[in-house]
Amino acid sequence: MGTRIALLLVWLLHFLPFRLLALVGHGLGLALFRIAGARRRVVLTNLALCFPRMSEADRRRLARAHFAAFTRSVLDRGIAWWSSRERLMRVVRVDGQEHLGAYAGRPVVLLAPHFVGLDIGAQRLAAEYSAVSMYSRQKNPLFDAFLREKRNRFGSVTLVSRQQGLRPVLRAMRKGLPLYYLPDMDLGARDSVFVPFFGVQAATVPALSRIVRLTGAVVLPCITEQLPGGAGYRVRIHPPWTGVPASGEPDDAADALAMNAFIEAAVAGMPAQYHWLHKRFKTRPPGEPSPY
């Protein structure tokens, strides 16, 4: 019942003018920061681990800004899920399409770290391009089915669950579909390597380097920025990034480290928009307790 009510609320709010919707999301996020104690602690723990030299007051300000940006992005997903293609394309602009066009017909990875605009950016690209992407099945069957339906509402996305592995992804890439790849979640110790992220050992899936080695793919960073003042979003497709493979020999750890360093640099540009609500450091090396 809670899921249905939440989706109904997002559906109702998506009819608002976009700038008003942004204000509602911002205000609701600030309110949630005050009352969502458990999630607030996760964010503050992540920030303390990643920015130990930052003052506690500054970390709290950053945490509040993150709650505002994240909650706004959740409400904005109503536009991605239900608004017309034309409205979505007005709200979310895309820069750097020439980089994607330059490699048409070649295997391409769109490297998309977890910033708050990730979902609406992916939907905006799906309104114009066909692609393949991996997803994690949701525990709630209703919400899982809903997300799969809405993520492919334009009929242009091949969705592969993580449980299916890489083979379907590689087949789709070899047919010319770019991979919209989300690289930076803690998915457990299995198939992960421990490398630093902001100086803290983090379980990191080294799939990017394996995909590049198997397909010869070009890696194009693809980062969605939430613009201030309800101005919408900007998807930026960057020129090719050559950090992976990091060496001539297969080295999952070196490649994962290079990828994490790239994401750190991206986070530095808009730290409030990175997904600090995720328990990025939950999985620990043997014998080390979880910080959460």
Phi, psi of 39 (to 5 degrees): -70, -35
Q: Which pLDDT value is given to residue 65?
A: 98
Tell which residue, 221, 219, 228, has the closest CA to residue 273. Answer: 228
Write down the mean pLDDT value for the chain.
95
Share of the chain above pLDDT 90, in %: 88
pLDDT of residue 191: 87
Task: Quote the pLDDT of residue 44.
Answer: 98
Place of tokens 């050992």: 201
Higher-pLDDT residue of 165, 270: 270
Residue-range domain boundaries for the chain: 2-273
Whole-number pLDDT of residue 1:
57
Q: In a 10 Å sphere around its CB, with 0-12 CB exposed, 13-18 middle and 19+ buried, how is residue 240 labelled?
A: middle
- Mean pLDDT across 114-139: 94
Q: How far is CA 159 from CA 49, 133, 151, 264, in A?
A: 34, 5, 8, 27
User: What size, in residues, is the chain?
Assistant: 292
- Do you find a cis peptide bond into 240, omega within 30 degrees of 0? no
pLDDT of residue 140: 87
CA angle 129, 264, 161 (to 5 degrees): 45
Does the structure show a pLDDT above 60 at 94? yes
For residue 276, count other CB atoms closer than 10 A to its CB: 26
Q: What is the pLDDT of residues 177-236, one digit of tens each?
A: 999 999 999 999 988 999 999 999 999 999 999 999 999 999 999 999 999 988 999 999
